[in-house]
Amino acid sequence: MPMAANRRFAKGFSLHSIGFKLFFIFFISILAFVLAVGLISYDLSRRTIASEVSNSSLQTIVQANEKLDYMFGNYENLSHQIRNNTEFTDQIFTLLNFDVEQVQRVTMDRKVRGYLQNLKLSQPYVTGIYVLNDKGSFGTTDVKIPKDIATKDWYKKAVDQNGKFVWLPPREKGYLGVGSAGESSFAVAQILKNSFDDPIGVLLMEFDPVLLGNTLKKIRLDSGNVLMRDADGTNVASGNDSWTDTPPFAMSGMSGELSLRDGSADLLAVYAKSELTGWALIGLVPKASVYAHADSIYRFTLIAACSAAALALVIGYLLARRIGGPLKRIQDLMKEGAKGNLKVRSGFTRKDEIGELSSSFNQMMSQMTQLIHDTDKLAAAVLGTAGQIVQVSDTTSQTAKEIAAATEEIAAGAVSLTEEASSGNEVTLAANEQLKSVMESNTEVADTAKEVRVFSQEGIRCLGDLTANTSEVERKTGDMAQKVERLRESTKSMEKIFDLMARVNQQTKILSLNAGIEASRVGSAGKGFLVLAQEMQRLAEQSRQSMEVVAGIVDTLHEEIQATSAAILESQPILLAQTGYVHRVNRIFGNVHGHMEEVLTKAEASTARLRDLEQAQETLKRAIDNVTAVSEESSAITEEVASQSAEQSKSSEGLARLSAELKEACFALQTSLTKFQYDR
């Protein structure tokens, strides 16, 4: 029995079976859960390890940066020590700015260089200490210092900082160029002043970069490297020379962390900026080395997923066999029942849902057996009733056809009456439209007559104003002619005055000539009188010139007055003729106004008669509309009766057809019921 069940289960185990679906869902759920838990754990572990490494690396970098600041602070204190040595600074100031005896200069120079040399020897990583000035320089080297040192950018920057320290990144041969080839040094610069706060020059201390390299190599990061860069992104020092080509990146704040990519490698970067130098101490850790600690979790996840997949295969198969096998057996029994064998029954007696499904299947087959038995009896009864319905339907169909024929004749008469009423209505509508057109034309004529009356009244008023204005112009033109005549007489009087003035001017010239002759005859005693005579002569000449100009203007004015007078005399007949024309036009407008009043009166009377005729047309139209409505209503009722008769006839025919079909269906039902196998 178990082997047979296994064979049945294997035979029905398809991709669409519920057993396979249960197996697939269970398998995928277990596998997805294990993978999700494992991958989430792996991701969380990666994040946790990265966060811990980042925090520890940042803490290491911050502490190392504080130690470097302490070291840089010591060197700045050394610079302060030099600056606060007033004897030293005063000696340098004296050597640079005053003439000193040669013996004293050599002594002071030896003290200055000895002091700087002692300071250098006390600091193992200091490679040189210099006091630089364009007038002269002092230092711990015997090599000649360039005289153009004051033109260097770093020198100017130290001067501009006015006492603040300027830290300079490593440079080959040092910042004075006196070092050996292949060797470099970084430096700190500060302006140096004497006890009177007078600038002496720039104090420059150079350091061996091994100092920074050894310090950075002592900083331990997880498979990473430590760099130091200035504000421009230039490498100052590195704990591993193979990491110096890491691309620069933006740093916000005094310390922080970020991720960056160097070629094909992802890096975790932490940094801390120095408060003294402004340089950034950067720690770089490859993310691959950080995440290596979490690889064991990833491998365990893969192993757990494979184990869970194998376990899910076994459990899924057992689950699918436990559920899918009985369901397949019930499916086969249902197919037997579909073929007509109602005697089949399920033998499962389990207490779960499969057992309930088996019991329900058995109950369903019993009820179907009873239903088929009752249907067989009912089909025989329906077959007898269907025969009687066919006879009644034939009789009803014949009667409906006779009623439909009589109704069609009544409908034909009603349609004819409706057509005649519609024709009369159309004639009435056409006459009504023509009457409306005539009324509209008459109304337009009346409106036009009213507008012409208004325009004629306005024209009469305007012509009255024009007549008054023309008369006023005529009167003013006469007055103007009289005034022009008087002005011409005045110009003639001015000509007489000019003649008198000309004679007076001539007499004045003669008197001035006589006075000049008499003054010349008297001699030096008559010089004043001679000057007066000359002035009178000059004044007489100017008066003559002015009178000639005025006389020319008066002549021109006289000619213009004569021309104006002639124009006025010529325009008077024209104005008189225009006044006559205006009076004639005024009379014409008066006649037009009278005729328009008559036209308007007749148009209003015509409009009143047309309105009476329109009312008569409306009365006739309503009568025809009433006849048409009655005819249409009668036709509609007749058509409705005909339609109902036709529907009744069709219903009777349909009922007869359905009765015949019902009879045939009863025969077919009885034939089909004979195919079922059950205990009768």
Residue 467: which CATH number?
1.10.287.950
pLDDT digits over 258-293, tens only?
888 777 677 888 899 998 888 998 888 887 777 666
Backbone conformation region of residue 181, classed left if phi is above 0, alpha if psi is from -120 to 50, else beta: beta
Token pair, residue 656, equals: 């007869």
Whether 358 is covered by a domain: the verdict is: no
Segment holding 261, helix H or strand E: strand 255-262
Nearest to 204 by CA among 124, 121, 111, 128: 128
Q: Which of 296, 323, 344 is a domain's end point?
A: 296
Rounded distance between C-alpha atoms, residue 427 and residue 444, angstroms: 26
- Shared domain check, 409 and 290: no
Question: Same domain for 613 and 487?
Answer: yes
Do 273 and 411 fall into the same domain? no
For the cut 80, the answer to whether the pLDDT of residue 171 exceeds it is: yes
- Last residue of a domain, which of 296, 320, 346? 296
Q: Are 286 and 412 contained in the same domain?
A: no
Number of domains making up the chain: 2
216-227: b or e for each residue (b if 16 or more CB lie within 10 Å)?
beebebbebbbb
Q: Is residue 90 part of a domain?
A: yes
Return the H-helix or E-strand segment holding 503: helix 353-522
Q: Which of 27-36, 105-114, 162-171, 557-566 has the lowest mean pLDDT?
A: 557-566
Answer whether 128's CB lies under 8 Å from 174's CB: yes
- pTM of the full structure: 0.44
408 and 291 assigned to the same domain? no
% of the chain surpassing 90 pLDDT: 6
Q: Is the pLDDT higher at 395 or at 213?
A: 213
Count of other CB atoms within 10 angstroms of residue 539: 14
User: Is residue 310 pLDDT above 70, yes or no?
Assistant: yes
- In this model, does residue 13 exceed pLDDT 60? no
Question: What long-range pairs does 556-565 form, CB within 8 A, spacing at least 24?
Answer: 557/491, 558/488, 558/491, 558/492, 561/484, 561/487, 561/488, 561/491, 562/488, 564/484, 565/481, 565/484, 565/485, 565/488
Do 280 and 421 reside in the same domain of the chain?
A: no
Token pair of 550 as six digits: 């005025």
CA 4 to chain centre: 74
**Exposure string over 656-680, b if 16+ CB within 10 A, otherwise e:** bebbeebbeebeebeeebeebebee
Looking at the fold, whether 222 and 106 belong to one and the same domain comes out as yes
CATH number for the domain harbouring residue 253: 3.30.450.20
| Residue 662 in domain | no
Of the three residues 296, 323, 341, the one that is the final residue of a domain is 296
Residues 385-422: tens digit of each pLDDT: 766 676 666 676 676 666 666 666 666 666 666 676 67
Lowest mean pLDDT among 6-10, 487-491, 622-626: 6-10
Residue 379 lies in a domain: no
Closest CA to 144 of 177, 112, 115, 107: 177
CA distances from 626 to 115, 619, 631, 637, 638 (A): 139, 11, 9, 16, 18
Residue 35 resides in a domain: no
DSSP H or E run through 671:
helix 527-673
User: How wide is the angle at C-alpha 374 spanned by C-alphas 373 and 376, nearest 5°?
Assistant: 70
* Domain-located, residue 321: no
Closest CA to 325 of 343, 309, 344, 348: 348
- Give per-residue pLDDT as tens, 145-161: 777 888 889 999 999 98
Sign of the CA dihedral running 10, 15, 19, 25 = positive
pLDDT band per the 50, 70, 90 thresholds, residue 204? very high
pLDDT digits (tens, 9 = 90+) for 389-399: 766 666 766 76
Domain containing 193 equals: 48-296
CA angle 155, 158, 159 (to 5 degrees): 90
Q: In angstroms, rounded to a whole number, what is the distance separating the alpha carbons of residues 359 and 151?
A: 109
- Look at residue 190 and tell me if it is in a domain: yes
442 and 574 belong to one structural domain: yes
460 and 595 share one domain: yes
Q: Phi and psi (nearest 5°) for 168?
A: -115, 135
Residue 347 near residue 359 (C-beta atoms within 8 A): no
Together in a domain, 291 and 416: no
- Across the range 549-567, mean pLDDT stands at 75
pLDDT tens string 572-609? 677 677 777 667 767 776 777 677 677 677 767 777 77
| pLDDT confidence tier of residue 137, bands split at 50, 70 and 90 | confident
For residue 123, is it within any domain?
A: yes
Task: Kindly report the average pLDDT of the chain as a whole number.
Answer: 76
pLDDT at 5 over 50: no
Are residues 149 and 265 both part of a single domain? yes
Same domain, 287 and 413: no
